[in-house]
Amino acid sequence: MASGTGEPGNTEESAGRDEDAVSRFVERFAAEMTEAGMQRMAARVFAALLADDDASMTSADLGRQLQISPAAVSGAINYLTQVRMVGRERDPGSRRDRYRLHDEIWYATFANRDQVLTRWERTLKDGARSLGEDTPAGARLAETAEFFEFMQTELVGVLDRWRESRRTPG
């Protein structure tokens, strides 16, 4: 996305695209992510980075493009960094931070979910035992744990197939 900073790959002229259309995409995709549960500002920042040719922008670039305050950018970046969707790097020879989407962002995001699912599964199994697996609540927790166990097994296979499809020519 054009940031107007004059940096190679980030100028409106070199992007050669309709910035209004890009902005509409960013807001639409951010709305979809917000609907799915992501924080609104984090979703907007993520979508802006996703739509950027370099998948990389400074705080000032993000603020200008999204018309949000530095504090809003900071809060969104903190969240996205915490959930490992965005990394922070330093512009060479500068004191400015640049925020970049990780390579294979979706693969990494779903692969990291495996750790979360494992913790949830353990906690749910412990909860089911504590409540009594023969009680309605305990049975519900046990079934939820079984669901997460199933999802983890399937997710590993899906991620493996994705990796293989990326190695295999079209």
**Does some domain include residue 1?**
no
Least confident window among 41-45, 80-84, 133-137, 140-144: 80-84
Q: How many other C-beta atoms are found inside a 10 Å radius of the C-beta of residue 162?
A: 14
Are 54 and 116 members of one domain?
Answer: no
Please indicate, yes or no, whether residues 163 and 116 belong to a single structural domain of this protein: yes
Give yes or no for residue 1 having a pLDDT over 70. no
Mean pLDDT of the chain: 86
- CATH code of residue 62: 1.10.10.10
Last residue of a domain, one of 55, 83, 101: 101
Query: What pLDDT, on a 0 to 100 scale, did the predictor assign at position 156?
Result: 86
Please give the residue range of the domain that contains residue 153.
105-167
Q: Are residues 87 and 154 in the same domain?
A: no
3-state secondary structure 89-142: EECCCCCCEEEEECCCHHHHHHHHHHHHHHHHHHHHHHHHHHHCCCCHHHHHHH
pLDDT digits (tens, 9 = 90+) for 85-104: 899 988 788 888 899 998 88
Q: Which of 76, 101, 126 is the last residue of a domain?
A: 101
Q: Based on the domain organization, do 41 and 65 belong to the same domain?
A: yes
Question: How many domains is the chain built from?
Answer: 2
